[in-house]
Structure 1
C-alpha cells in the first residue's frame, strides 16, 4: 500500500452557544474544522483533522510511502522542513497528515486505532469544558447539567478578570456536577492572561473558597520559571503546554519543573501526543489533551500511555459532516471498535451546512488583547 495523494475539506462546528475565554468570545459561534483525506493505491483513505498549514511542502515526504511506517513518516515530515523549522502552524500540517497516516495503518490492520496503538480498554476518562466565559449563569448551569447527565464529574471554567464572578460561576459548575459526586473536580483556565504575581494573588483568593484540581495556562506559554514559581505558591496543580508545537518545546518547562500536568493541543497529532506522553511519564507527570472535539484521534492515544489523567470534551456534538463512532457516557468517551480512528466524513453534508464566518471573527479568543497581563482590575472592571 502506497500513499498517492490527498484532498482537503473544511467543515464547520456550529456550537449553538457563545464560546470564548478571557481574550474574547464569539457569539452564536461557528468555527472551521480543517480536514485532510489521505489517498492510497489500495483504495483505503485516511482521515486527519486539525490544520491545512504547509501540506504542499510536507507531502513529498510521504508521497509513495507505505503508511504503516508511521514513526518514520512523522520524522520524514519533520526533516522535510528542517531549514524553515516545524514549529507553529507548520506543525499543524504535520500532525494532521500524521493522524491520517495512523488512521490508514489501523484500517489496514482491520482494527480500531486504540488497539493498533496498544490500548487495552476503549474507555477514556474525560471532563466537561464549556469555553464558557460568555455564557450567563443559566446557560452555564444548563451546559454542565447536560454533561452531568452523561456521568461527568469534573469541569473547567474560563475566567480570570472578575474574582467575584468567577467564584459564583465555579459554584454553579460545581452544583451541576454534584449530581454525580459530593466533590466535583473543578479546573480554572485563564488562557495566558496573568503575570506571575497576578496569578498567585488571584488563585490564592479562589482557593480560600474552592478546592481547584488545576489552574490552566496562567502565564505565557514559554514562561518556564514563572510556572515553576507559581506552582510552588498555590495548592492547585499548574497545567500548561496546549499551545506548544513539538516535544522539543517542552524541554525548558521540564527542565524548570514547571508543569504539574502536561497538556497537548488537539491538532498536534498522534505521534506527537504519544511521544510527549512518554516524555512526561519519564518525569512522573500526568498528561491531559485538550479539545477532543477538534480531533477525536487523540483519545485513542490516551488508551495506550501509562499517564493519562483526563481528556477535555467541549461539546456532545461534532462539526457537520464529521461523523464519529463513539459514545459519551460514564463521565468519559467510549471509543469505536470499527477499524481506524472511528471518524467518517460526509462530504455532501459539509457542503450543505456551510454557514457563518468561522474563527476569523476579530472579537474571538484567538486575538490576544493589547492589555492582557497588564490590566489593573479590582472588581472586574479595568479603569
Structure 2
C-alpha cells in the first residue's frame, strides 16, 4: 500500500452558540473545520482533521510511501523541513497527515485505532468545556446541564476579565456538576491573557470562594519562569502545552518545574501526543488533550498510562462528518469502526458549503494588543 495523493475539504461545525475566550469571541456560531483525506493505491482513504494549509511543504515526504510506517514517516516529515522549521502552520499540516496515516494503519488492520495503539478500554474519561465566555448565566446553565445529563462531573470555564462574574459562573458550574459528584472538578482557562503577578492575584481571589483543580495558560505558553512563578503562588495546578508545536518546546517548562498538567492539542496529531505523553510520564506528570472536532486523539489517550481527562467542547459533530463515538458517564466511548472512526460525506459537505460566505473572524485567535498589559482586566475601553 502506497500514499498516492490527497484531497482537502472544509466543512463547518454549528455550535448553536457563540464561542470564545478572554482574547475575543467569534462573530457567528459556525466555525470552519478542515478535513484531509489521504489517498492510497489500495483504494483505502485515511482521514485527518485540522488546518493543513502548509501541506505541500511536507507531502512529498509521505507520497509513495507505505502509510503503515507512521512513526518513521512522522520523523521524515520533520526532517523534510529541517532548515526552515516545523512550527506553526507546518506543524498543523504534519499533524493532519499523521492522523490520516494512523487512520490508514488501523483500517489496514481492520480495527479501531484505540485497539491498534494497545488500549484495553474504549472509555476515555473527560471533562466539559463549553468555550463559554460569551454566554449569559441562563445560557451557561443550559449548556452545562446538557453535559451533566451525560454524566460529566468536571468542567472548565473560560474567563479572566471579570472577577465578580467569573466567581458567579464558577459557582453555577459547581452547582450544576454537583449532581454527579459531591466535589466536582472545576478548571479555569485564561488563554494567556494575564501577566504573572496579575495571574497570582486573580487566581488567589478565585480560590477564596472556589476550589480549582487547575488554572490553564495563565501566562504566555513559552514563559517557563512565569509559569513556575504562578505555580508557586497559587493552590491550583498549572496546566499548559496545547499550543506548543514540537516536543522540544516542552523541555524548558519541564526543566523549570513549571507545569502540573501537561496538555497537548488534538490538531498536532497522534504521534506528537504519544511522544509528549511518554515524556510527561517519565516525570510522573499526567497528560490531558485539548479538544478539537471529532476528538481524534481520544484513541491515543485510551492507550497511555498517564491520561487524566479529555476536553469535550461539544456533543455534536461537524456537518458531513459521522464519528463513531458516544458521550456518556462523563467521557467518550470509542466505537469499533476501523481507523479513527470518521466517515466523510463529501456530497453533504459540498452542498452545505454552497453559497455560504466564509467567516471573517478575528475572535479568540487574535491576541488583543493590551493582553497582559492591563492594570484593570476589564477596562472601559475593552468593553466598548
**Once the 2 structures are TM-superposed, how far is the Cα of residue 336 of structure 1 from its aligned partner?**
1.0
Q: Does 1:284 align with 2:306?
A: no
Deviation per CA, 1:58-89, whole angstroms, max 9, x where unpaired?
A: 11101111111010000000011111100111
Figure out how many residues of one structure are paired with residues of the other and give that number.
380
- Tell me which residue corresponds to 1:98: 98
SS at match of 1:179: coil
Quick one: structure 1 residues 82 and 259, their matched pair in 2 at CA, closer, same or farther if it must change by over 3 Å? same
CA distance in 2, matches of 1:374, 1:11: 37
- Tell me which residue corresponds to 2:320: 321
**Once the 2 structures are TM-superposed, how far is the Cα of residue 295 of structure 1 from its aligned partner?**
4.6
Q: Does 1:297 align with 2:296?
A: yes
CA distance in 1, matches of 2:20, 2:134: 7
CA distance in 1, matches of 2:52, 2:206: 40
**Once the 2 structures are TM-superposed, how far is the Cα of residue 296 of structure 1 from its aligned partner?**
2.1
Report the TM-score, using the length of structure 2 for normalisation: 0.97
CA distance in 2, matches of 1:27, 1:125: 31
Q: Is the CA contact (8 Å cut-off) linking 2:294 and 2:317 kept in structure 1?
A: no
Q: Does 1:119 align with 2:111?
A: no
- Tell me which residue corresponds to 2:44: 44
Quick one: structure 1 residues 57 and 286, their matched pair in 2 at CA, closer, same or farther if it must change by over 3 Å? same
Report the TM-score, using the length of structure 1 for normalisation: 0.97
CA distance in 1, matches of 2:280, 2:294: 21
Deviation per CA, 1:278-304, whole angstroms, max 9, x where unpaired?
A: 01000111000111x425220000011
- Tell me which residue corresponds to 1:341: 340
**Once the 2 structures are TM-superposed, how far is the Cα of residue 109 of structure 1 from its aligned partner?**
0.4
CA distance in 2, matches of 1:96, 1:376: 40
Deviation per CA, 1:103-152, whole angstroms, max 9, x where unpaired?
A: 00000000110011111100000111111011000000110000000000
CA distance in 1, matches of 2:359, 2:256: 34
- Tell me which residue corresponds to 2:226: 226
SS at match of 2:234: coil
SS at match of 2:262: strand
Q: Is the CA contact (8 Å cut-off) linking 2:294 and 2:342 kept in structure 1?
A: no
**Once the 2 structures are TM-superposed, how far is the Cα of residue 357 of structure 1 from its aligned partner?**
5.4
- Tell me which residue corresponds to 2:140: 140
Q: Is the CA contact (8 Å cut-off) linking 1:30 and 1:356 kept in structure 2?
A: no
Deviation per CA, 1:332-368, whole angstroms, max 9, x where unpaired?
A: 0000111101111111111122275566412x11111
CA distance in 1, matches of 2:27, 2:174: 25
- Tell me which residue corresponds to 2:212: 212
CA distance in 2, matches of 1:260, 1:77: 30
CA distance in 2, matches of 1:341, 1:20: 27
Unaligned stretches of 5+ residues in structure 2:
none
1:191-210 alignment runs, 5 A limit: 191-210=191-210
SS at match of 1:16: coil
Name whichever of 125-134 and 26-35 sits farther off. 26-35
Quick one: structure 1 residues 271 and 295, their matched pair in 2 at CA, closer, same or farther if it must change by over 3 Å? farther
1:141-220 alignment runs, 5 A limit: 141-220=141-220
Q: Is the CA contact (8 Å cut-off) linking 1:36 and 1:96 kept in structure 2?
A: yes
Q: Does 1:377 align with 2:367?
A: no
CA distance in 1, matches of 2:357, 2:335: 32
CA distance in 1, matches of 2:137, 2:200: 26
CA distance in 1, matches of 2:333, 2:297: 13
Q: How large is the Cα RMSD of the aligned pairs? A: 1.2
Name whichever of 90-99 and 18-27 sits farther off. 18-27
